[in-house]
Structure 1
């Protein structure tokens, strides 16, 4: 049995060790935290079986936020879980009941064919099975409290889940991403992750500080897995968020701002990876981080435009 009954599940989205969901088991009852896409459902059900549980033993599906790599399979998964209820942030819950806006937004980005290939059909969750988790909401799993708190920064509809039993947070995307390929003798490498439409640096700083106040032993990231050394990683996230803001401001006003910002971020992350002792060559590091650099650039540009209008 994994420590504290927490199973890390590789959803298989994009590449191995990129996107995780979690299964928390307590006294024969279970909760999933995030679920990946529709293509992940067989993997989740297999993880249940390997833990000696059936679909009827799952009481909860808790979503950190509504982005499709975390929540795209929620409706389909709920059809397999006869007794479970879905828990979501107040801003995310309506999209689980009616995913039309999620479909429209993702289709506009990917196109219909690519959307179908990555995510399949988004299935609505019946409203009576959805629990809205305001800040501080506690989910009881067989007497094990899982506390949900509002953690904006990556997205305004984001929550993180505190598990006092393991003294750990399930962080979604608020505590950054940490790919195992970039680990070194110094431990995990970490960087902040922006959404392309709602990045808010100050809010992210506050959310990280709020999580750190619980003196956690570990963080369970969606991208990817369990990390310790929490205080060091938090300090590095704070430093990088400030640096990202400075780079965005320095690139603002340039004729090709986006290209300049992507290049600046790439150079910055490469420098940090080298200082961290990552063993991959520069091309491999950029290959792993390319999509994240693009998303961070987009998020910073949206933040710049919002700041200009405020």
Structure 2
């Protein structure tokens, strides 16, 4: 079975569909389609390659592109917003709502694309993301703390949640008592979930990781007493408090590790080794029934990106 054939969208309660964007591997990266009284919102978009899947998910519910009112990237990292411009070309009535700090980068994505090339290299940037499509400025709304977007009669409230990035919003949905958390509650791959275990880890990927801000943002989400967290990587999580505890505990350990190694000549190598040890220890504590080699293989991209973000945070890039 090919990776493409293995992709499968998941319809949840309250008009919410998890759209598997197909980025990296099946059940790695999600966009969310929210439908209320014949109107729709898309929360996170994946990359350009996800656009046909989002449009197909819309059609599967008997809706037209003109029925989409809102496109809401939680932040402008390309696994969350890379397809926003191309998607907007297909949605004549939609407005794009993105954090005020990120809005200009989706109107003119040249600097954003340059940053992606710097982090990933030219070949990977072209292969995984393609060329970003600008969104006309007149169709962009700068999202702010407390802003309420109405999807028919359903309110979606924006929360300013820095930590993973300063341009990060979460979306509170009173109808489901759920929060679309982007990367604020970390990444929670399906391979680490079954009836006996549940594991998640923080994302400190470049370039704006702030562990103090992240701790505050996680506490703020928990104060809402959510029944569900809709994470981009990947799907709906009912064990919200357990996930939050894992994220804060590991984030604190990651920050302490990076600070302790700041002056080490072999900073990068020791940091990556230390991150693997933190993640394996937490996975063991959560009872994850996978071999260590399999856990490390699933997390190797996160180890590399998290090490880059932590290095920038402590002023080291090597």
Number of residue pairs matched by the alignment: 306
Q: Is the 8 A contact 1:151 1:158 kept in 2?
A: yes
| 165, 177, 193: which one aligns with 1:183 | 193
Distance in structure 2 (CA, Å) of the matches to 1:230 and 1:109: 31
Counterpart-to-counterpart distance in 2, 1:184 and 1:4: 23
| 1:103 positional shift | 1.3
Q: Tell me how far apart the structure 2 counterparts of residues 283 and 191 of structure 1 sit (CA, whole Å).
A: 17
Alignment of 1:80-229 (within 5 A): 80-229=90-239
Change in CA separation of 1:45 and 1:174 when aligned onto 2, cut-off 3 Å: same
Deviation at 1:120, TM superposition (A): 1.5
Counterparts in 2 of 1:1-310, with a 5 A limit? 2-305=12-315
Q: Is the 8 A contact 1:184 1:276 kept in 2?
A: no
Instruction: Give the whole-Å Cα distance in 2 for the aligned partners of 1:110 and 1:264.
Output: 22
Contact 2:107–2:136 (CA under 8 A) maintained in structure 1 = yes
Q: 5+ residue gaps in structure 1?
A: none
Aligned-residue offset at 1:115: 1.9
Deviation at 1:112, TM superposition (A): 3.2
Please say if residues 193 and 296 of structure 1, whose CA atoms lie closer than 8 Å, have aligned partners that are also in contact.
yes
Judge conservation of contact 1:173–1:222 (CA < 8 Å) in 2: yes
Secondary structure of the corresponding residue to residue 277 of structure 2: helix
Instruction: Give the superposition deviation at 1:249.
Output: 2.2
TM superposition shift of 1:163: 0.2
Q: Distance in 2 between matches of 1:297 and 1:149?
A: 27
**3-state SS, counterpart of residue 4 of structure 1:** coil
Paired residue secondary structure (2:213): helix
* TM-score normalised according to structure 2 size: 0.93
Quote the offset at 1:184 in angstroms.
4.3
- Residue 186 of structure 1 deviates from its aligned partner by 4.1
CA distance in 1, matches of 2:54, 2:282: 35
Alpha-carbon contact 2:197-2:288 (below 8 Å) kept: no
The answer as to whether partners of 1:184 and 1:277 remain within 8 angstroms in 2 is: no
SS in 2 for 1:3: coil
Aligned-residue offset at 1:187: 4.0
Q: Which whole-Å deviations, capped at 9, do the CAs of 1:16-56 have from their partners, x for residues lacking one?
A: 11100000000010000010111111111111111111111
Q: CA separation in 2, counterparts of 1:302 and 1:60? A: 34
Q: Residues of 2 paired with 1:294 and 1:41: CA distance?
A: 28
